[in-house]
Structure formats: structure tokens, C-alpha cells
Amino acid sequence: MTQTRFIVFLLLCALGVNAQKTKINGYSGIDAKALQCPDSLTKSADDIASYMNGNFHTDKVKVRGIFIWIAGNIKYDAENMFALNFYEKKEDKIAKPLKTRKGICENYAALFTEICTKSGIKSFVIEGYTKQNGFADYLPHAWCGALIDTSWFLFDPTWGSGYLIKGKFYPEINNDYFLVNPSMLIKSHMPFDCLWQFLNYPVTNQEFYEGKTQENKSKAYFSYQDSIPAFEKMSHTDQLAASASRIEKAGIKNSLIFDRLQHIKIELENEKQTHIADLYNDAVIDYNDGIAAYNDFINYRNKQFTPKKTDPEIKAMLDTASVNLQSAKTKLAEIIKPDATTSKLIQQLSKPITESIDLVNEQQDWLKIYFSKPKASRKLMFYKK
């Protein structure tokens, strides 16, 4: 087939360099309708999703509308192509292209996924690196995976929006990066985490470099179909740990993978420390609430249970103290491998918690005896040691 252009450039997370082939656009009607979205409805992902839902009625048609609207309205921000920050807040990544109508790969991917999600289509942002003209890029990239009906497909709204020549962006829709079969996109797009390859026999980083991306059934079978729902049910900390494990298993082939893995480990450690601090602080709150409830009971007992409360109401005062103190004890026990400072704080708090639980138990035992007596005899209980 005839090449229409040959472009050589250096690019991070931007645009495919392969020459385009003249193709018939089978989506022309959908594209026209998507691009007719009123400007007043393009200030938020919610409004764009509402427009797509109101005009298109299947996932495949909706996702086409979303892809073409983004590719047709968001221009690649060539001036900031090296400003990729995977750790920027998702909200900021989405807000920028909606406000400025410009963005880099992370903005395209975040916006695409957000509109898909709000349109009822499951979508994920995928982080990784790419290979163009036989060479792996030295800077990372972001694209998307979406569940259309019952199958996962890949989308690169950045590469689908145009191309760069000498640092200048030229808009041109490239349908090669719309609704791509995972077995095809793996030739040029390599996720850091193999989960997002959507392949049952994932390609290693070494194989990606060597261009050996064809299915190899001699490998161990990987059920991404089951792994993704399991991943979604995990806590964020467990997701990070699982991702780090898969990344290490696939091989640390370049500095991009190493950097991403280190950031995940740092994030894991930060989340661990945050979790420990939260558990400890919550334990302190529970302890204080338990002591307050216990003191309320003692104060009420010293007043010989006046003004009058029902037996269940009196019992509830001590039960509240017991529940809070037991909760404090449980939360301290959930803290695993704390640092030396936190370990000392835990020891200092554990002792008064245990002592307070014993005091509550003594009062509960006393209260059982109190409740077992006829009401006429109960008053004498206040005078016994």
C-alpha cells in the first residue's frame, strides 16, 4: 500500500508515527452526531456523557461517540509533552482538557475513561510505554481499555487524534487506535502491569522488545477475565501490591518500568504508614469514647441511678464503654510491623485499655447482680463495697 507520509520525531506519550492509509470511515454518521454536541454541554464529563447517552444506545456506538469527540476537540499540547505526571489527581487531569481543549496522553486517557464510566461503560486508564518504528520510547504513555458488551478492547485517544511534525501538532483522526483487539495493540503498546494486556498468555517486556508478541500457549494460562473483577474488589493497597508483583514478574527491562515499580512501592509504604496512623488514632478515639461512657456510668451509679432509667438503658451505658474499649484494643492489634515510635505509643496505650476493660467487666458483673435482685432490695447494693 502507498505511504502518504514518513515522519521521524522524538516523542514521549504522544502520537503514532506510522503513515496513514486511506480508509472508508464506517462511523461517519456517529461521528457527525458526536461532534454536534453543543458547546454548553462540553464543560464537564457528566454533560458529555448525558449527550452520548441521549443520542446513542449501544456501548459500541457510545464509545465511538466519546472517542471521536475527544479526538476531534482536544488538541495535543506539544509544548507540555514532557510534563507527564501519572500521580496528578484524576480530577485535575480531567479538568485541564475540558477547560483548555488541550492535553497530553494522561489527559486524553483520563477524560476518555471518565466519560465512558459516566456513560455506563467500564473503562480503565492504562499506563505503560510504547514502541514505534521498532524502537521502544524512553518516556511513558497512557491509553485506555474498555469493556464493550462482553469483550475488552483498547483505545488510544491520543494517537487517534493526530500526529506531530517537528513539535507541531496536526489533527487527523486515526481509527487504527479505536476499538483495537488487545492482540493487535500489544505490538506497539506495553502496559507496565500485564493485567491490562487483556491477554491469556501475557507478553513479557523482553518479548515486547524483540517483537515476539504473538500468542504463545506454552506459557502458563492467565485468566485476566477473572483477575479484573477480583482486582476491582481489592482495597487500593492490595491493588498496588498485586500490581507490583505482576510488574516484577514480567521483568524490569527499562528505567520506565523500574521507575513505575519504585513509585508503586513508595505509594504502598505511604499507604501502610497512613493506615497505621489511622488505626492508632481511631484506637485513641475509641479509648476516649469508652472512658467517657464508663465515667458516665460511674457518675450515674454514684447518684444511685437517679434520675431513673430503665434496666436496658442502664446496661447500654456499660455496653457502650465495653464496645469502644474492645474496638480500641482490636485496632491496635491490627497494626502490623509498626516503626519504633509507633510501637512505643501502642504499648503506652495498650496498658490503660486493658485496665479499663477490667474495670468495665467489674461493673458489668456488679450490674448483673443488681438486675437479679428485686427492685425493693436494689438500693442496698449502693452501700456494699
pLDDT at 87: 75
Under the banding of pLDDT at 50, 70 and 90, the label for residue 49 is: very high
**pLDDT at 132 exceeding the cut of 60:** yes
- Tens digits of residue pLDDT in 245-293: 999 999 899 999 999 999 999 999 999 999 999 999 999 999 999 999 9
- pLDDT at 138 (0 to 100): 84
Confidence check: pLDDT of 56 > 50: yes
pLDDT in tens, 87-97: 788 999 999 99
* Under 8 Å between Cβ of 165 and 15: no
What is the bridge-based pairing of β-strands 75-76 and 102-103?
Answer: parallel
Residue 180 pairs in a beta bridge with 154
Task: Tell me if residue 207 falls in helix, strand or coil.
Answer: helix
What is the reported pLDDT for 385?
Answer: 60
CA distance 270 to 207: 33
| Best CA proximity match to 117, nearest among 46, 198, 179 | 46
Cα separations (Å) of 71 from 22, 111, 140, 266, 299? Answer: 18, 11, 20, 34, 70
* Residue pLDDT, tens place only, 203-244: 999 999 999 999 999 999 999 999 999 999 999 999 999 999
CA dihedral defined by 147, 179, 34, 127, rounded to 10 degrees? Answer: 70
Q: What is the DSSP letter of 74?
A: P
Interval 52-79 mean pLDDT: 95
Banded pLDDT at 80 (limits 50, 70, 90): confident
Per-residue pLDDT, 166: 83
Whole-angstrom CA distances from 18 to 87, 133, 188, 239 are 30, 8, 11, 35
pLDDT recorded at residue 308:
93
Task: Give the model's pLDDT for residue 384.
Answer: 67
Q: Per the structure block, which three cell numbers stand in for 141? A: 504513555
Residue 4 has pLDDT above 80, yes or no: no
What pLDDT is recorded for position 21? 47
- Predicted confidence at residue 198, as pLDDT, reads 98
- Per residue in 17-34, pLDDT (tens digit) is 444 444 556 789 999 999
User: According to the model, what pLDDT value does residue 23 have?
Assistant: 57
Quick check: 129 pLDDT over 50?
A: yes
Please give the mean pLDDT across all residues of the chain: 91
Average pLDDT over residues 173-193: 97
Give the pLDDT of residue 331.
97
Alpha-carbon distance 184 to 162, whole Å? 20
Asked if the model's pLDDT at residue 5 lies above 70, the reply is no
Note the pLDDT of residue 17.
43
pLDDT at residue 84 tops 90: no
Assess whether pLDDT exceeds 90 at residue 85.
no
What count of other Cβ atoms lies within 10 Å of the Cβ of residue 317? 20
Residue ranges of domains in the chain = 1-124+146-180, 280-383
* Alpha-carbon span 254 to 138, nearest angstrom: 8
Residue 33: which of 72, 89, 91 has the closest Cα? 72
- Going by DSSP bridges, is the β-strand pair 168-171/189-191 parallel, antiparallel, or unpaired? unpaired
**Region 142-155 average pLDDT:** 97
Say how many residues make up the chain: 385
Could you report the per-residue pLDDT of 324-353, keeping only the tens digit for each? Answer: 999 999 999 999 999 999 999 999 999 999
Q: Which run of H or E residues covers position 26?
A: none
What is this structure's pTM? 0.79
Fold (CATH) for 1-124+146-180: C8orf32 fold (3.10.620)
| CA nearest neighbour of 68 among 106, 14, 127, 27 | 27
